[in-house]
């Protein structure tokens, strides 16, 4: 089996899982976007998956990502930054990515806003720490309204919704019960602020079905697409 064919099978498998989960949740399959979590994977692999129809890729490591972007500049890729955001990296992030998953401070949002020198608005997702884990970034649910209110006023970025990286759970019902909090949060803040947030980024290889049933609109899949991380 050649490499490109194996990539096609892996992509088909993940896409079929998404379709099946959407059917189970009575949702349109087009309401869920697949992001290939391609950190540590080479640019030529990303090119192969792009040729197969995957156009959204998420990167965690800034320097690695920028080098890949240079090598893949001829492709119309939508780039998502899903790594930790350091203050001295916000200018590069603002000008090299279409989406930023994981903003959890107003200062970070302000820097991304002020340093965005592109002609398009930068899409922002606020990271929620659903399990209040000290080892992970993100804000508690009860701080999301205030942060959303302030970020939504910034002119050069577009607040789109929320993302989360909850702790691993093996039970479907427990996975869904955790992730559905993001959908409730999105609905509540849309009503409270009279805005139209439309994006929830949650769900990975091990819990994408539960995430889709809970209302996610973006799933970030790495190992089931690209194989184990190197």
Q: Say what the pLDDT of residue 83 is.
A: 84
Where does residue 41 rank: exposed (0-12), middle (13-18), buried (19+ CB within 10 A)? buried
Phi (first) and psi of residue 3, to 5 degrees: -60, -45
| Confidence class for position 131, pLDDT limits 50, 70, 90 | confident
Per-residue pLDDT tens over the stretch 31-67: 999 999 999 999 999 999 999 999 999 999 999 999 9
Element spanning 226, H or E: helix 223-226
Domain ranges of the chain: 3-226
Give percent above pLDDT 90 in the chain.
Answer: 90
- The pLDDT value recorded for residue 230 is 64
Q: CA–CA separation, 31 vs 217, rounded Å?
A: 6
Dist. CA 35–CA 220, nearest whole Å: 5
pLDDT digits (tens, 9 = 90+) for 137-148: 899 999 999 999
Q: What pLDDT score does 228 carry?
A: 77
Q: Which of 128, 157, 159 is nearest to 144 (CA)?
A: 128
d(CA 222, CA 226): 6
Residue 88 predicted with pLDDT over 60: yes
> pTM for the full model?
0.96
Only one residue has tokens 């942060």, namely 147
Whole-angstrom Cα Rg for the chain: 17
Tokens of 185: 């949060």
For the segment 98-128, what is each residue's pLDDT rounded down to a tens digit? 999 999 999 999 999 999 999 899 999 999 9
Inter-residue contact 113 to 157 (CB < 8 Å): yes
Q: What is the pLDDT of residues 145-198, one digit of tens each?
A: 999 999 999 999 999 999 999 888 889 999 999 999 999 999 999 999 999 999
Query: Helix, strand or coil for residue 120?
Result: coil
Architecture per CATH, domain 3-226, reads as Alpha-Beta Barrel (3.20)
Q: What 3-state class would DSSP assign to 26?
A: coil
């Amino acid at each position: 089996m050649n490499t490109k064919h194996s990539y096609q099978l892996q992509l088909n498998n993940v896409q079929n899982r998404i379709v099946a989960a959407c059917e189970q949740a009575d949702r349109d399959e087009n309401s869920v976007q697949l992001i290939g979590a391609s950190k540590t994977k080479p640019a030529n692999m990303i090119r192969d998956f792009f040729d197969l129809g995957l156009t959204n890729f998420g990167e965690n490591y800034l320097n690695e990502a920028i080098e890949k972007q240079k090598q893949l500049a001829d492709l119309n890729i939508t780039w998502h930054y899903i790594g930790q955001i350091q203050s001295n990296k916000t200018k590069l992030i603002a000008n090299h990515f279409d989406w930023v998953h994981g903003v959890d401070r107003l200062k970070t949002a302000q820097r991304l806003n002020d340093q965005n020198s592109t002609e398009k608005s930068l899409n922002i997702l606020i990271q929620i720490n659903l399990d209040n884990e000290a080892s992970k970034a993100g804000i508690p649910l009860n701080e999301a309204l205030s942060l959303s209110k302030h970020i939504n006023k910034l002119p050069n970025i577009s607040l789109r919704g929320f993302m989360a990286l909850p702790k691993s759970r093996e039970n479907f019902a427990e996975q869904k019960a955790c992730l559905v909090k993001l959908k409730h949060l999105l609905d509540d803040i849309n009503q409270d602020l009279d805005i139209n947030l439309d994006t929830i980024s949650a769900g990975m290889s091990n819990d994408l079905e539960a995430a889709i049933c809970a209302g996610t609109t973006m799933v970030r899949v790495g190992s089931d697409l690209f194989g184990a991380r190197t």
